[in-house]
Amino acid sequence: MKYFLLFFLVCSFSIVSAQKHSIPSLKQNDTVLKKIGLKPKGIKSSKKGDTLGVTIKDYKIITHARDTTYLDTTLTIKKEYSYNYLRKDDFELMPFANVGQPYNKLGVNFNRATLYPSLGAKAKHFNYAEVEDIKYYNVATPMTDLFFKTTFEQGQLLDAMLTFNTSRRLNFSIGFKGFRSLGKYQINQAESGNFKMTTNYTSPNYRYFLRAHIAAQDIKTEENGGLSNAELQFESRDPNFRDRGRLDVLFTNANNKVLGKRYYLDHKYKLLRKRKDSSRIEKTSLAIGHQFNYETKYYQFAQVAKNDFFGDAVLPGIDDKASLKTMYNEANVQFYNATLGMLQGNISLYNYNYYFNSLFITDAQTIPYQLKGEEISLGGTYQKEIGGFNVDADIKYTLIGDLTGQSINASAGYSFDSNNKINFGFHSSSRMPDYNFLLYQSEYINYNWLNTDFKKERVNNLNFKFTSKKWGDVEADITTLGNYTFFKVDPDAEFVEGAENANIRPFQEDKSVNHLKIKYSKEIKVGKFALNNTLMYQNVAQSNDVLNVPSLVTRNTIYFSSDVFEKAMFIQTGVTFKYFSSYNMDAYNPLIGEFYIQNNEEFGAYPLLDFFINAKVQQTRIYLKAEHFNSLFSKTNNFYAAPNYPYRDFVIRFGLVWNFFS
């Protein structure tokens, strides 16, 4: 470890030596892009016709919900939490040993972003960018965001994005996130490629608006089924098995894959547009709009030779493939008034085709190869801000179709001042479970089903959030689930030794399940030291054990921050402690790419300790972390991400995030 620290300091000093005299003597919040030779806003150049200065706030990031933020090049503890494969805070997730593998759940959120079911294989979709995950850009000059991080044996993780414009109103971005990691265990390699291209356009008269994206994504993982003798080889800390590649796994000939392509368009035209007086502030407008989304996706599980672990099979080799094609069209009319707010009405058509390549015929039944149809829905949205108050509402109701029912989202918030905000929300939805719960085909005999008796899942949620720089952030969610759908071992099936996953099937709970989640976050600072705390409590009221989550999850980070090298570098270093109480952790099934309920073993109640040193030089953030270093001196290996799937051992990883401006 000392050599990594020495390398880190030498590289950091070299960067500082090269850049420390070029750093502007301005406040941190008014960062100037020196590379383009511009000055801060409001300061004109001495040469006539030169462009006004550009700050980092002129590099805007627009979400699918049209929330606008700007590029943040600061180094904070939140950046440390999101410096990972998903590039977001994974507090409520438990990662597997290798990058790109599934995440087990430590916390749950049942609010649905869309009205329609998904393909399934949810354990394989953590890194799959949905429509709601795509971001659009409005930048002053070309900007590049480069993310790099080491992985586990023979591979790297790179996420590169370039955004640029041809004019002030036409912006483009192109990005690719790719990685490969061999992993420490046998048959554990993972790799993926995520390509995204976006455009964002506004006409010169501000009447026509367009945003669109293309996404092509694939996620591939070798599957070994987990350890076959974890108690003897892993938990015993036998020195003969310190090399994790020597541990026995259940099989060595399987892999699964998710591949998807999507084309998305959202545009509108303002038929009526009145400004307030002579300013650019809009008083009243009437617009028509259209949304289009076409996506093809498939999930595939392949195995060179069948394995008794999944039961009997029709053929000696396994090649299961579930495909989904969807097309969504929405026409809408939007009315805006500065006094009344924004009101939109829409009608949408959703076409779906979920299919396999053949029929599955047995003496008892015939499993069809396809679910195909269309859904027609009506909807509306309303938004209004009055002083510190804001109100948002969204409703959709299905007129024609069997998959969906309705979806209602409503929220109201109030900002007391810039430091204190409160928000109340409500979510209610009704729709069928994901397609793989309704229909599935496999060359393993017991993995074929058609569930025509499944009912629509119902979700009703009340949520509350209070944000305060002084008192901290509090979030509370109360959720009631009806017809909750899940996978588990069929209790009526005969148990066969060596075939533990031979009878995994989907089930629906006919009784209500109630879930309570309360999360509190607060940072305490004393001089250059800080203690960042996040605590989450969960409680589930249920007649049967169908939803298992830990009652307590905590993460506490104590760290030190300071400027060094004549304020040319800013560093943060500290230790993060994460812990969750023991519970019946869900098990992972690689054949269907899903987690399933198990109530035989409890896992958890072990600490995870990480040591980190991070640094910032201009727009470059450098990261070095010793992950799970307490595993070096723990008495037993009891750290699991799922039954038979250990969490990662001690490892040192490093990388950077670098922004370039032209």
| Residue 296 CA from chain centroid, whole number | 20
Q: Which residues pair with 354 in a beta bridge?
A: 324, 371
**What's the CA gap between 137 and 169, in Å, rounded?**
11
Structure tokens at 550: 């830990």
Strands 504-508 and 513-526: unpaired
**What's the CA gap between 649 and 245, in Å, rounded?**
13
Region(s) of the chain under CATH 2.40.170.20: 59-661
Q: What are phi and psi of 133, to 5 degrees?
A: -95, -10
Average pLDDT, stretch 55-78? 92
pLDDT in tens, 467-477: 999 999 999 99
Cβ–Cβ < 8 Å for 625, 576: no
Average pLDDT, stretch 394-423? 94
Whole-structure pTM value: 0.89
Res 279: pLDDT? 57
Helix (H) or strand (E) holding 18: helix 2-19
Structure tokens at 250: 């259940």
Res 152: pLDDT? 93
| Identity of the amino acid at 86 | L
Report whether pLDDT(1) > 80: no
Residue 528, class by beta-carbon neighbours within 10 Å (0-12 exposed, 13-18 middle, 19+ buried)?
exposed
Cβ–Cβ < 8 Å for 392, 410: yes
Which DSSP string do the residues of 301-359 spell out, in sequence order? Answer: EEESS--GGG--BSSSSEEEEEEEEEEEEEEEEEEEETTTEEEEEEEEEEEEEEE-SS-
**What's the CA gap between 483 and 513, in Å, rounded?**
9
Helix (H) or strand (E) holding 287: strand 282-303
pLDDT-derived band at 33, boundaries 50, 70, 90? very low
DSSP code at position 453: T
pLDDT-derived band at 361, boundaries 50, 70, 90? confident
Tell me if residue 437 falls in helix, strand or coil: helix
pLDDT in tens, 94-109: 999 999 999 999 999 9
pLDDT-derived band at 497, boundaries 50, 70, 90? confident
Which DSSP string do the residues of 123-191 spell out, in sequence order? Answer: GG-TT---GGG--EEE-SS-EEEEEEEE-SSS-EEEEEEEEEEEETTEEEEEEEEEEEE--SSTT--EE
pLDDT in tens, 290-324: 999 999 999 999 999 999 999 999 999 999 999 99
Who has greater pLDDT, 27 or 104? 104
- Distances in Å between the alpha carbon of 496 and those of 490, 492, 590? 12, 12, 19
Res 113: pLDDT? 87
For residue 346, which of 394, 311, 384 has the smallest C-alpha distance?
A: 394
| Identity of the amino acid at 333 | V
**What's the CA gap between 511 and 479, in Å, rounded?**
14
- Encode 556-567 in three state secondary structure: EEEEEEEEECCC
Mean of the per-residue pLDDT values of the chain? 90
Tell me if residue 80 falls in helix, strand or coil: helix
**What's the CA gap between 198 and 524, in Å, rounded?**
40
Report whether pLDDT(412) > 60: yes
Structure tokens at 594: 């899903």
- 311 Cβ neighbours under 8 A, 6+ residues apart: 444, 445, 446, 447, 496, 499, 501, 502, 503
Burial profile 280-297: b = 16 or more Cβ within 10 angstroms, e = fewer:
eeeeebebebebebebeb
Q: Which residues pair with 355 in a beta bridge?
A: 323, 370
Cβ–Cβ < 8 Å for 363, 333: no
**What's the CA gap between 99 and 151, in Å, rounded?**
7
Cβ–Cβ < 8 Å for 564, 90: no
Tell me if residue 8 falls in helix, strand or coil: helix
Burial profile 156-167: b = 16 or more Cβ within 10 angstroms, e = fewer:
ebebebbbbbee
Cβ–Cβ < 8 Å for 258, 219: yes
Q: How many CB atoms lie within 10 A of CB 629?
A: 18
DSSP code at position 434: P
pLDDT-derived band at 634, boundaries 50, 70, 90? confident
**What's the CA gap between 606 and 578, in Å, rounded?**
9
Who has greater pLDDT, 69 or 276? 69
**What's the CA gap between 69 and 57, in Å, rounded?**
8
Rg (CA), the chain: 26
Q: Which residue has the tokens 């672990």?
A: 309
**What's the CA gap between 403 and 430, in Å, rounded?**
9
For residue 158, which of 139, 179, 137 has the smallest C-alpha distance?
A: 179
pLDDT-derived band at 274, boundaries 50, 70, 90? confident
**What's the CA gap between 127 and 220, in Å, rounded?**
11
**What's the CA gap between 476 and 538, in Å, rounded?**
10
Average pLDDT, stretch 498-510? 92
Who has greater pLDDT, 14 or 592? 592
Res 597: pLDDT? 97
Who has greater pLDDT, 366 or 125? 125
- 452 sits in the region (left: phi over 0; alpha: psi -120 to 50; else beta) called alpha
- Distances in Å between the alpha carbon of 257 and those of 220, 458, 494, 592? 4, 30, 31, 11
Q: What are phi and psi of 19, to 5 degrees?
A: -120, -10
**What's the CA gap between 7 and 647, in Å, rounded?**
27
Q: Would you say how long the chain is, in residues?
A: 662
Res 55: pLDDT? 85
Q: Which residue has the tokens 């006539």?
A: 48
**What's the CA gap between 56 and 36, in Å, rounded?**
12
Topology given in CATH for the domain delimited by 59-661: Maltoporin; Chain A (2.40.170)
**What's the CA gap between 224 and 248, in Å, rounded?**
9
**What's the CA gap between 457 and 536, in Å, rounded?**
26
Report whether pLDDT(19) > 90: no
Tell me if residue 215 falls in helix, strand or coil: strand
Q: Which residue has the tokens 């007391």?
A: 416
Report whether pLDDT(371) > 60: yes
Res 387: pLDDT? 83
